[in-house]
Amino acid sequence: MRHSLPIAPQFYVTAPQPCPYLEGRMERKLFTALHGDAADTLNNSLSQQGFRRSQNVLYRPSCTECSACLSARINVSDFSPSKSQKRTLRRNTGVVRNSTSPWATEDQYALFREYLDTRHADGGMADMDVFEFAAMIEETPIRSRVIEYSDADDGKLIGVCLTDVLEDGLSMVYSFYAANRPQNSLGTHIILDHINIARKAGLNYVYLGYWVPGSQKMDYKARFSGLEVYLGGGWQSMTNPKNYSADAHPLSIDPIAEQVANISLPDRRPTNR
């Protein structure tokens, strides 16, 4: 019997840069590399502590004077669709879902470019070329899937979501969709479909990324019932979005050393030899 040491990744901090969600603020991220045979274990553990994955990196906001970004997830058992969300499901009965391996295609990139050019032309991903797109999709050291959505009538690709399969849920890493179908509310439909997939798979959560009070870009996440946010070292049910503030205060942020010290790292399971 061989006992391995606890997983001990190195953590780093990015240089400050303009916040994409709140005007006049600067963002900074705490991050660590994700690789090796412990990648799945580390990804599961840190995802449950508010981290997100981007390719082979796990990160969490660690801004110097702002703690507005809150990791958000939907508790599947507590979710009940609103009247509007039920209408969205009915409008998309002709949408076909297909789950594939994380492999980039030309159709995906064409839809991705259309999505960015229409909705996020000034965003941080606006200049992404086909090689960077392929890296975003394919460079994953953990269990990931690409969930594609197509029109049943003509087979045209209208939605894509890069999805990680965690031990307790699905993590929607990045999604994009046809911008010329606003009546379909495809972004909402993709989230609703992931809730359905998680429920059928016996998974408890759908991780949505970060919700930012005061950011119109993130308002849609608060419209889902059963929403939980990671705050103060634990997950709590969101009862009213208005109870959360984007106010900045330097004393609300722990020093980096304390943040790292408070991260719970998983132990490797003993292996037989």
pLDDT for residue 246: 79
Q: How far apart (Å, rounded) are the C-alpha atoms in residues 122 and 138?
A: 25
- pLDDT one digit per residue (tens) for the chain, 273 residues: 344 445 678 999 999 999 888 888 899 999 999 988 889 999 999 999 999 999 999 999 998 888 889 999 999 999 999 999 999 999 999 999 999 999 999 999 999 999 988 876 566 677 889 999 999 999 999 999 999 999 998 999 999 999 999 999 999 999 999 988 888 999 999 999 999 999 999 999 999 999 998 888 888 999 999 999 999 889 999 988 888 887 766 666 788 888 888 899 887 654 444
Give Rg (Cα) of the chain: 19
pLDDT in the model for residue 200: 97
pLDDT at site 270: 45
Q: Integer distance in angstroms from the first to the last C-alpha of the chain?
A: 6
Place of tokens 């929607």: 172
**3-state DSSP helix/strand/coil % of the chain, to nearest 5:** 30, 30, 40
- CB–CB of 10/263 below 8 Å? no
State the residue for tokens 């950011």: 215
Q: For each of the domains in the chain, give its residue range(s) and CATH number, in order of start.
A: 11-69+246-261 (no CATH), 72-243 (3.40.630.30)
208 — phi, psi (to 5°)?
Answer: -105, -5
Question: What's the pLDDT at 139?
Answer: 94
Report the number of secondary-structure helices (H) and strands (E) in the chain: 6, 14
CA neighbours closer than 13 Å in the CB half-sphere of residue 86:
5
The pTM of the full predicted model, rounded to 2 decimals, is 0.91
What pLDDT score was predicted for residue 215? 86
Residue 272: the pLDDT is 47
